[in-house]
Amino acid sequence: MAVVAGCGSDSSNSGSDASSGNEAKLIDWPLFGRVPERTHYLPAKQRALDPPLREKWSINTHGLIEFPPAVANGVAYVVNKYGNLRAVQLSDRKTLWRQIRDPKDRGKPTDVTSPVYHQGLVFIARLDGQLVALDAATGKQTWERNLHAHLESSPLAIGGTLYLGSDETNLIALRASDGATVWQFNAPGPIRASPSHHDGRVYVADYEGGMFCVDADNGKLLWRTNTTKVPPFGKGGFYSSPAIAFGRVYAARDDGTVFAFDQRNGKVEWSFPTNNFVYGSPAVAKVPGTPPTVYIGSYNEHFYALNALSGKQEWRFSVGGPVPGTATVVGHTVYTSSFKTQHTVGIDVHTHRKTFELREAGYTPVISDGRALYLVGYFELLGLEPKRG
C-alpha cells in the first residue's frame, strides 16, 4: 500500500461555510451506525441540518462507496470498494492523506467494510481477510493482520477492543493497539452482519437466522435465539446489523422479516413481515413528538416506520424502487435511497412527507458531523447546505 500526504482539495464546488454551521458543535460519526448501539440516529436542533437542502460541494472517489465514511474531529475517512482510503478535512475539503492499495494486490478481492475511527486509529476490514489499522493523522499503517476469512462485517471499536465477524462463523475480539486476539466466539453460521454493543454486551447475528448476545470481556455466550425455530419461523439469515434501543435488539432477516428481541434474554417480542428482501440495518429513534420508532426499507419498494415497542406499522412511504441499504435519522428527517430511482429522499417523521430529494443514490445515504449533512452517493461524497430562495 502507498500513502500520499498533503494531496489538497478535490472539491468540485467551493464556498465558505455558513456561520450557523461554524457555531454548531462538532459531533463524531466514527462508525457505521454512529454509536456502538448502531442506532443510525443523530438528534439535532440546528436549522442548518433541516431540509430544504442543496448540494454545496462534491468529492469523487472513483469507486463505489458501499459504507459511509467514519467522521472524527472534523475529518472524514472515506473508503471505496477498491480499498483506497482518503482523509478529508470537511471544513475546506482538503485531502490530508490518501492510502492507495498496492498495485501488486490488484485482481484480488478488494471489497471493504465500513471504516472505524478509534483512539487515533482508523480500521478497515477487507473481503480477502486483511484487517488494517492506520494512523488517523498520517495514514501510515500501524499494523495489519490476515484473519484468513472473508470479512463482510464492519468492525466495532470499544475501549481499546475491536469486534468483528467472519464468514468462518467467528465473532472475534482483538486488541486495537496491535491486532492480537483477545477471544473468539463460534456461531453456527457465517457472520456477515456487524456486531453492536451496549452495557458490556456484544450482540451479533449469523447467516443461519441466529441472534447472539455475548459478554464483551470474555466472549461467553449469554443468550442465543434461532429465529427459524420460533414464531414466525421461516428461513433466512441476517445481513442486517443489530440496533440496540428501548431494552430491545432490532434486526431484519434477509427474507424481509423485522425482529425485536428482548435485550435481557433474546425472546422475540415482535416481528413484522415486509414480504421481500431486507439487507439494510434498522435505524432506531425517538424523535420528539413521535413514539420510539424503527425505520427500515425493503426490496418491495417501501420504507417502513414501525412502533419500536409493539411492531405496529406507524406509516410507510413508497420509495419507487428497492431499498438496498440503511436509513439514517438526523433531527426530524429520515433519509433513504434506491438505485432504481437514482435518488436519495428525506422524509419528515412527523408529517411522513418528502422534504428532500437529490439525484444521487447510496447505500447509507446521509451522515452528519453536527454542523452539516453529507450525502454518501455511489461514487461521491457530497456536502449539503440550506437551500435559500
pLDDT at residue 346, rounded to an integer: 98
Helix (H, G, I), strand (E, B) or coil at 358: strand
pTM: 0.93
Contact 165, 149 (CB under 8 A): no
The owner of cell 493497539 is: 177
pLDDT at residue 102, rounded to an integer: 65
Question: Chain-centre distance of CA 356, in angstroms?
Answer: 21
Provide the grid cell at 354: 418528502
Which CATH code fits 2-386?
Answer: 2.130.10.10
pLDDT per residue rounded down to tens, the chain (389 residues): 545 444 443 433 333 333 344 468 999 999 999 999 999 999 988 888 999 999 999 999 988 999 999 999 999 999 998 889 999 999 999 999 998 876 566 555 567 899 999 999 999 999 899 999 999 999 999 999 999 998 999 999 999 999 999 999 999 999 999 999 999 999 999 999 999 999 999 999 999 999 999 999 999 999 999 999 999 999 999 999 999 999 999 999 999 999 999 999 999 999 999 999 999 999 999 999 999 999 999 999 999 999 999 999 999 999 999 999 999 999 999 999 999 999 999 999 999 999 999 999 999 999 999 999 999 999 999 999 998 75
pLDDT at residue 82, rounded to an integer: 87
pLDDT at residue 14, rounded to an integer: 31
| Neighbour-count burial for 343-375, b at 16+ CB within 10 Å, e otherwise | bbbbbbbeeeeeebebebbbbbbbbbbbbbbbb
pLDDT at residue 107, rounded to an integer: 54
Domain ranges of the chain: 2-386
| Neighbour-count burial for 85-104, b at 16+ CB within 10 Å, e otherwise | bbbbebbebbbbbbbebeee
